[in-house]
Amino acid sequence: MSPLISASQLQEQLADVLLIDCRHDLANPQAGRLAYAEGHLPGAYFLHLDDDLSGLKTGTNGRHPLPDPQVLADKLASLGLSRNRHVVAYDAQGGMYAARLWWLLRWLGHDQVQVLDGGMAAWQGRVVRDLPVPVAAKFVAELRPELKVDVKEVLENIQSAVFTVVDARSPSRFMGEGETLDPVGGHIPGAINRFFQNNVQEDGRFKPAEVLRVEWLSLLAGVDVSQTVQQCGSGVTACHNLLALEVAGLRGARLYAGSWSEWCADATRPVVARLE
């Protein structure tokens, strides 16, 4: 299954998919829920980045730690997710939040998931305010721990250089300039930068697969994609890079879910930043 679905394709399949609205705003955490109440795609349910697609924060495990897989699986099952159910996630931010759900479902062992290419802006059909009535189903997660790495592995990799870390944050944040979300600026030693917004066109849709493939292969400069680990500020936009790689047909990259917000929570971990 392609990782993306067009608005026209979704229109044809709308009655058969489990549709999830993932809209969010980091600066205003209630914005997504309010936008959903004002109008959403027919039949769509809403899942919140903080409340549903993230776990409990400890102060040291990042701003958006992974949710408990059983809790997430049960939540999705309550909305109608079953083993063979086709899921489509969408947002209004170029896929940056929908990609999180796309990755989480694959982590749970569910591959029949796509992201609406272009999100709300691409949708030409009806927008409704009616709330769907869920019909619970049975879904048993088959967790894929190999899709991610933890902070210990990333720390050890600084010496071993087994994999290449790719940071999805903006170039300025990568270099430690203008950091506003985390208390420390900079990046993990040895990391390279691929701003997630470079994956999409001006209209919010993903670049063509062949363009993404050329850009990513140029960035990796001979490093096999399976030897890369994607990270960002809190494990959200890193999923956008993972989605772009999948669109490009480049598979095997892993996620460092804790990302920079977890990394910089421990002052003993090394940091690289632009020197004044």
Catalytic residues: 232
Please give the Cα distance from 61 to 140 (Å, whole number): 26
Distance CA 253, CA 259 (A): 15
Would the CA dihedral through 114, 117, 118, 120 be positive or negative?
negative
Give yes or no for a contact between 54 and 64, defined as CB atoms under 8 angstroms apart.
Answer: yes
Residue 144 host element (H or E): none
b/e sequence 167-185, b meaning 16+ C-beta within 10 Å: bbbbeebbbbeebeebebb
Nearest to 228 by CA among 177, 163, 273, 170: 163
